[in-house]
Structures are given as structure tokens and as C-alpha cells.
Amino acid sequence: MRNTIGEVAKKFNLNISTLRYYDKEGLIPNLEKNESGIRIFDEEAVSALIAIECLKKSGMSIKDIKTFIDWCQEGDETLKERLEMFLARREALQSQIKELESTLNYIEYKVEYYTKAVTDGTEKMVKETMSNPRLLNLQ
């Protein structure tokens, strides 16, 4: 596995510039370069990218991902910090999911609402007959 930046960009569906930006920010530790300066993404670099993508999806900022990557480089000293970070991430994700589910609920109400309205050809009747669940969530 000795990928060039273009190949990796394609695999991860990231812009080449984004990969260079991540490298500049220090998110890809020990990224090799050949004699003429061309980046070679080995297995370690690729698994860093996998972690980066996942942490990004979990809502972490680039800066905090960088902190994590640095901890990984520092070795066993930082195991506790890393565990705590993942515990916090888990919490964050769980509440994000809950919030999205409640948002989905509102959206589903709206789908129902507008399905009826489209059938009727007007919003009038639906407006009067459908009780709105919004207030349960938001007020």
C-alpha cells in the first residue's frame, strides 16, 4: 500500500488540497516523502485518515483531532486522555443522534401535513385539523 496523494484523495473522496491541508496541520504524522518531495501514504497514514474522517463525522474540530493525533504520538502517557476524549465523543454522538431523531419527528409531521395539503389542493383544512406537535419539543 504506497499511495500517492491523488489516489488517496480519490479513495477517501477528499480534495487533494484538503489532504495537503491536513498534512500541513499535522494530522498525518510520519507522512513519508520521497527524495523529490512527493508524499507517499503508507498504511499508517491511511489509518490516520480513517480516524480523521471518523472523528470529523463525530463533530470534532480539526484542532481537537490534532490534539488526539499528538497524544497518539506521545505514547502510553496519554492513554487516559484519549479514553476520556472517546467517552466524551460517545456522549456527544448519542445526544446528537437523539436530537436528530426528534428533528426527524418534526419533519415527519410536516411530511404528513403537506401530503394532506397537496391532496386537498390547499393548506386551509389541514391547518385547522392537524394538531401541531412542535410545541412539545420546543416550548
Handedness of CA 36, 38, 42, 45 (dihedral sign): positive
Nearest approach in angstroms of CB 56 to its own copies is: 9
Alpha-carbon distance of 111 to 90, in angstroms, equals 31
- Residues in region 27-66 near DNA by CB under 7 A: 33-39, 56, 61-63
CA dist., res. 119 & res. 130, Å (int): 14
Q: Residue 56 or 90: which CB sits closer to DNA?
A: 56
Determine how many CB atoms are found less than 10 A away from the CB of residue 35.
Answer: 5
CB of residue 132 to its own copies, shortest distance in Å: 8
Element (H, E) at 50: helix 43-57
Residues that bind its own copies (CB under 8 A): 11, 47, 50-51, 53-54, 57-58, 75-76, 79-80, 82-83, 86-87, 89-90, 93-94, 96-97, 99-101, 103-104, 106-108, 110-111, 114-115, 117-118, 121-123, 134, 137-139
